[in-house]
Structure 1
């Protein structure tokens, strides 16, 4: 069965009332309900599990009462959250997004098993800062070479560059799909044949389908959007797995936000859906 993952677009969901979602070197988490080690783990959930929930999340997880509520699948939502954190096949947060480390998950488990005692946290680092980058393919486009090919300069803001230097090639929708969140600029991707990006117009209709090239780049055929803005988008794998963007956008220069580290609230690169 095809999987569906929800990915933040150029803007994260709003932070919960209990604290701030980590997003930079100065990000802090503060809580009047959770111990610091628990708040740090839950902060990785709060891009979507806010109140109200964002990005297709079914429930909020911002208060102790919400975590202690009974799940229809059995146990409490805190216990279900712990199961998903430890699920290697279908983890939460989804593969490619910031996740708590093993020590954090163990601390969350101990808190759940001890009855979820109330706590407080006056402010601890939220885990922001510069994430290490990789080039998963091991191959990069030459930094000083411009061959005019559709595979050139993967990961860079294509439309902005073309508007400066070659306006007739500035397609409205341009970007790069990668297997991990923090791929290096100019790193070639490795995308299965048949992967596509679907552009969804303001009315929820798939208005454009853009094939993704094996090295990751995709682009539309026109300088103009030719869709009713604002739009959202989704990456669809050949097997039907989906990575969905939920925040409406006006700019189609996708790599302008989906940079190595992420800009304007984006978590990093446009991700290839995982199975």
Structure 2
């Protein structure tokens, strides 16, 4: 049996056939430094939690932007820049509004959680202070690498081959298929059969149409795969998050299980197909 999920989580890209709505915020001239600082460059402060809030946005608002996004949200300077859609506001302020806009939300899967909104709002009101938590890392920007340094060499058994399209192979071999199956990797471009994340640090979370969340464990065997045979009511949204829930990478579009999106590695290949930026990457 061969296997094939935000960040980031199905075929339309969990990380991501991103939104196709109005372009957001190409930055104009950057603002002056925030109160108490000497530069708008630099990292986010750890205490604010802003770096984690932005991790889902950065699937598309990466550097360079992908999936229809027009700007990057990777650094503090980019958040402090003037918004192209409303130059009287910063990109951060417009982003905050979009996170709460039910008609034109960011992310496009729906408005952000109240906790994430509160974190970004507090950071803006505090003057967007800097710190030492980094400005964001685009896991899809680098070349192909097998981060684990390990390649699966076992037989095609219950472990299944990491990175390969599970259901595509199962149908060919007339084996049972899964509602959802894929492999989680540390970075966005990793070759087939490279062992993914196996340290128990991440989990796949599925939210169905009723708002019910189902957690799917990521195997700690020699693969980094996840599988589920559960049926989910539409609309279905998926994300990968850290085991403690502090970091997350969400798929930017609704998961179409009936259309085959559940065979995640069909699109989340080493280089990415069908608008997916690459592998399903851990947050």
| TM-score normalised over the length of structure 1 | 0.58
CA 74–68 in structure 1, closer or farther in 2 if over 3 Å, else same: farther
- Measured at CA, do residues 46 and 181 of structure 1 come closer, stay the same or move farther in structure 2, by a change above 3 Å? closer
Task: Name the counterpart of 2:157.
Answer: 148
Aligned length: 198
- Which of 152, 171, 191 is the aligned partner of 2:178? 171
- Structure 1 stretch 7-16 or stretch 264-273: which is displaced more? 7-16
* Match for residue 188 of structure 1 among 171, 195, 199: 195
- Given that 1:60 and 1:66 are in contact with CA atoms closer than 8 Å, whether structure 2 keeps it comes out as no
Q: Which residue of 1 aligns with 2:235?
A: 230
Partners of 2:19 and 2:171 in 1: how far apart? 30
**Counterpart-to-counterpart distance in 1, 2:65 and 2:83:** 9
In the alignment, is the contact (CA less than 8 A) between 2:83 and 2:89 conserved in 1?
Answer: no
Tell me, in whole angstroms, the C-alpha distance in 2 between the residues paired with 1:263 and 1:217: 19
Counterparts of 1:91 and 1:182, CA distance in 2 = 21
What is the distance in 1 between the residues matched to 2:251 and 2:236? Answer: 10
Which residue number in structure 2 is paired with residue 137 of structure 1? 148
Q: Is the 8 A contact 1:155 1:176 kept in 2?
A: yes
The answer to whether 1:248 aligns with 2:259 is no
Indicate which of 239, 245, 262 corresponds to 2:244: 239
RMSD of equivalent CA atoms? 4.0
Aligned 1:1-275 pairs, distance under 5 A: 7=8, 8-14=14-20, 44-45=64-65, 63=84, 66=87, 69=90, 72-73=124-125, 89-92=133-136, 94-98=137-141, 132-142=143-153, 146-150=155-159, 152-168=160-176, 170-193=177-200, 195-206=202-213, 208-214=214-220, 215-220=223-228, 222=229, 225-241=230-246, 242-250=248-256, 251-273=261-283
Q: Match for residue 24 of structure 1?
A: none
Larger-gyration structure (1/2): 1
TM-score normalised according to structure 2 size:
0.56
| Residue ranges of structure 2 left out of the alignment (5+ in a row) | 1-5, 9-13, 30-60, 74-78, 94-123
Cα deviation, residue 91, structure 1:
2.2
